[in-house]
Structure 1
């Protein structure tokens, strides 16, 4: 009588990797204790990238920051079901004297300007946090409010590096004085001579920057006989600035930069008065390649979407999945006390052209909203 095979069940490594990359970071950290092979796989750069790609495509979050107490701020993640799934972070490394510069590949860059000035890199999923080394021109709390500057943070696949950009501008004429860049790979700051534009100024100081395809983008203005609204871009790998014209929007001051289908995008919005009622209208412009008259491909703005009229004053803040996320004024939640404010967010679906209102039960109106994806990306520089 033949004996049954006693072979140990076996799964090929690619199948194991395919399963593991679909798990949330919390489970991944636990499963690193299963065996040495699993731990090595989950710490490998190729796996971190595959997990990030899957997380970005399948599980994107919105990161909200709010708070009115001078001692602290509050952060929460909003999941796919905006009505119920609000996950608040416990003890984020921030106070009311901090601001989020940007989120990139699961890393959050934080500027702190309380008693001393510094930056933090924080991975909320792994709970890793590290303080960035001192900048070339340190600022104390008083200097921070007397010095004018703009910030950016992002990742370049070409350079395989995360960088913080700090742009100092003159308080007299708002033109650029100097530019400092921090590299995570070298854990150091340097001053770069990258600015070569005259009569170009940054604007929308408190608006979050946008990072896509290895470049950081800000709103700008080129002034002269006729003022021209421009987008200022910074190539993270080459450490060079460039100017991009606005799309032909009606109201260039009422626009927000975002990312759509991994491309630079702009949402323009306008208020329309019809009788005694106020309506909003949204247009989505995307920077993408299209053929010119000679048949060659060139980058340009393409209008991808125009909304229906919405009977309220909307302010778009970002694009999430296939929807434009818009702020409206908060309202008191019925049955609660006056301090319990429910933030109302309107989502405009780009595919169906439908509006959906989400009532998020958080106490204070959000001050900042960012796109965020969980990742295993480490906050330390390569050894």
Structure 2
């Protein structure tokens, strides 16, 4: 390959899977320099994000797809190939790249309040990865007790966002082991489904709230679709769109998608699944669609594919009664955090 033009060598490397690239860093210093360069890493992600997506799924401390982790975890966000995890054993927050198997431990937040909204995203303006936590005083019913804290990987520090925030509680389905809700990151902002209240008023209303990662501003996003009204529901990013998932009175799962980001009139029902009888008693959480339109979802401690009739087309995992399974779809990446404090999560 040494006789090939540099642009041809670059194109060949861009088409290689990450597992091969990690091995090829040892071939020669020029290859190490190429594969490790920020320009190449960014180009490779742009290429792989269109073609190579993986499902990271685990049951308790056992990973069924990907690699083993010795500690139980909750997925609180994902972005550009990184997963944001909370390790159950000691509530340690980490950012982990499952492709390169390196992670960063996040220092404790300088607050005694309890976190109830989590988020993770990337600020392209400052080239920085950010963790966002909303916290509240569990001993107070005042909405003024809500705090927003943002952790910057670049500065390795927490900063409290100034302002008075009126949302009071999440209505999205919380993680069973933490009681907290992970936000959905899209278009440079993190989104949550929450009950909001004006200062001094007892009444509240359901809304999507968003935090712009560049401007560091929190606001109410577009209203929910008028026909969507469920006690148990989720807000997720599915198929590149903000999506609402809820179970209606007929035990059908409805998936609503915002086809045009930020446009209220673009809400439409994408799918209505009439579940098979054996699934009616369980909570099903979709994580992605397949190319042929089937739904990949977590149910209990199982990962399954559901066809358009709501019947199980394929199932992997343990049992439907558990609550400690989780799964996300992510694009592989070679990105590092450039903070000098990365380590192996398995150690």
Contact 1:130 1:380 in 2 (8 A): no
Listed one character per residue, the Cα deviations across residues 73-111 of structure 1 (whole Å, up to 9, x for unaligned) are 12232xxxxxxxxx4x13x2x523x43322211112222
In the alignment, the residues of structure 2 paired with residue 163 and residue 34 of structure 1 have an alpha-carbon distance, to the nearest angstrom, of: 34
Structure 2 unaligned spans of 5+: 176-180, 342-347
C-alpha distance 289-28 of structure 1, shift in aligned 2 (>3 A): closer
Alignment counterpart, residue 180 of structure 1, candidates 149, 155, 158: 149
What displacement does 1:162 show?
A: 0.6
Listed one character per residue, the Cα deviations across residues 286-315 of structure 1 (whole Å, up to 9, x for unaligned) are 15169xxxxxxx564331523353434362
Number of the residue aligned with 2:208 = 231
Listed one character per residue, the Cα deviations across residues 6-28 of structure 1 (whole Å, up to 9, x for unaligned) are xx874333332222222222210
What displacement does 1:230 show?
A: 0.6
Give the 3-state SS of the residue equivalent to 2:30 in structure 1.
helix
Number of the residue aligned with 1:196 = 164
Alignment of 1:258 with 2:236, yes or no, is yes
Contact 1:345 1:358 in 2 (8 A): yes
Give the 3-state SS of the residue equivalent to 2:266 in structure 1.
strand
Give the 3-state SS of the residue equivalent to 1:20 in structure 2.
helix
Alignment counterpart, residue 359 of structure 1, candidates 297, 300, 315: 315
Alignment counterpart, residue 108 of structure 1, candidates 76, 79, 83: 83
Structure 1 unaligned spans of 5+: 1-7, 68-72, 78-86, 140-145, 273-278, 291-297, 331-342
TM-score, length-normalised on structure 1? 0.73
In the alignment, the residues of structure 2 paired with residue 27 and residue 362 of structure 1 have an alpha-carbon distance, to the nearest angstrom, of: 32
CA RMSD of aligned residues (A): 3.1
Contact 2:300 2:325 in 1 (8 A): no
Number of the residue aligned with 1:325 = 296
Number of the residue aligned with 2:178 = none
Give the 3-state SS of the residue equivalent to 2:327 in structure 1.
strand
Contact 2:235 2:243 in 1 (8 A): yes
Number of the residue aligned with 1:65 = 58
Contact 1:257 1:265 in 2 (8 A): yes
What displacement does 1:319 show?
A: 2.3
Number of the residue aligned with 2:23 = 30
Contact 1:284 1:306 in 2 (8 A): yes
Number of the residue aligned with 1:380 = 338
In the alignment, the residues of structure 1 paired with residue 190 and residue 261 of structure 2 have an alpha-carbon distance, to the nearest angstrom, of: 19
In the alignment, the residues of structure 2 paired with residue 36 and residue 377 of structure 1 have an alpha-carbon distance, to the nearest angstrom, of: 19
C-alpha distance 381-121 of structure 1, shift in aligned 2 (>3 A): same
- Larger of the two Rg values belongs to structure: 1
C-alpha distance 10-304 of structure 1, shift in aligned 2 (>3 A): farther
Number of the residue aligned with 1:305 = 270
Contact 2:167 2:194 in 1 (8 A): no
Number of the residue aligned with 1:70 = none
